[in-house]
A = this chain, B = another copy of it.
Amino acid sequence: MLSKRNLQLDDRGELHHLLAIEGLPKRIIERILDTAESFVGVNEREVKVVPLLRGKSIFNLFFENSTRTRTTFEIAAKRLSADVVSLDVARSSTSKGETILDTVANLTAMHADMFVVRHSESGAPWLIAQHAAPHVHVINAGDGRHEHPTQGLLDVFTIRRHKPDFTRLTVAIVGDILHSRVARSQIHALTTLGVPEIRLVGPRTLVPPELARLGARIYTSLDEALVGVDVITMLRLQNERMNGALIPSASEYFACYGLTPKRLALAKPDAIVLHPGPMNRGVEIDSAVADGRQSVILQQVTYGIAIRMAVMAMLAGAAR
């Protein structure tokens, strides 16, 4: 998708917006991961702050509420010494009938440097990037069912720290693939980095056969799908899916697709388990697995800060 790649990269091929993993060149993904490595250390220091983005104004525009994701971007920005303003967009001018583009034009006029955008509509960050002033950078923090690129990046960063050679991995992603921007971003990242086998697992209502076009193999049996895998990503089952329309019940879902220690034993002995959070313990994952030695779920959270710092620093030209 050439047009998307062009919008994300500037004339010199540097990252200008982060809107999606799809279409992002491998060298850019790898540069983000390498840059994030340097920020892991900053977060472990006594004084967790570097002056890279001092005097920059970053706006969190969360048209869809997410305290958790907003907090990670806020922390990442503050540790880079940027000024962050989080707008409660649901309560602001948009509710007075102002368009998104007018809201963004106004904030740009206040000399914004960067927008972190979450929206329930797929493509909203794209629309903003298309109309943004040349010096303004846009980060997609999750748009509809489309992508959640920083999540995909922190997923592959976490994987790389444990399994450095992507070309030898088998990865299973389990759950509601159909509605998941997390899954979509991770699949694109894994594919670009050369993972040869991706398995998508779940009931036919949540993992329809046509998802095979993403370059993945479709499984309805979790037991079959787990055999020999190196990495397992468990997706959160949204509460609204548990009302009987798409799956019979939470307990039946757990019986079929919940990751238990017994099932985990089917994977390779050193397989790692990821989950984007927040977890439904006892629905998609057993607590013994979530808190077990193969879980890297809290590492994902830790590395998520480093990834967001890396993306922000690269966009601002402070980490090239």
Q: Which residues of A contact B (CB under 8 A)?
A: 43-49, 54-57, 65, 67-68, 71-72, 74-75, 78-79, 83, 85, 87-89, 91-93, 96-99, 102-103, 105-111, 239, 277-281, 298-299, 301-302, 304-305
A71-B107, A75-B83, A102-B278 given; 4 more Cβ-contact pairs under 8 Å: A47-B54, A49-B54, A55-B79, A71-B87
CB <8 Å contact, A55 and B48 = yes
Task: Report, nearest first, the 3 A-B pairs whose CB atoms are least far apart.
Answer: A47-B55, A67-B92, A109-B301
Nearest Cβ on chain B to A209's Cβ, whole angstroms: 30
Nearest Cβ on chain B to A54's Cβ, whole angstroms: 6
List chain B residues, Cβ under 8 A from A301: 106, 109-110
List chain B residues, Cβ under 8 A from A279: 98, 102
Copies in the assembly, this chain: 3
List chain B residues, Cβ under 8 A from A74: 85
List chain B residues, Cβ under 8 A from A55: 45-49, 79
Which residue of the partner chain, among B48, B83, B280, contacts A57 with CB atoms under 8 Å?
B48
- Chain B minimum-CB-distance residue to A238: B96
CB <8 Å contact, A83 and B79 = yes
List chain B residues, Cβ under 8 A from A65: 91
Which residue of the partner chain, among B57, B88, B93, B304, contacts A75 with CB atoms under 8 Å?
B57
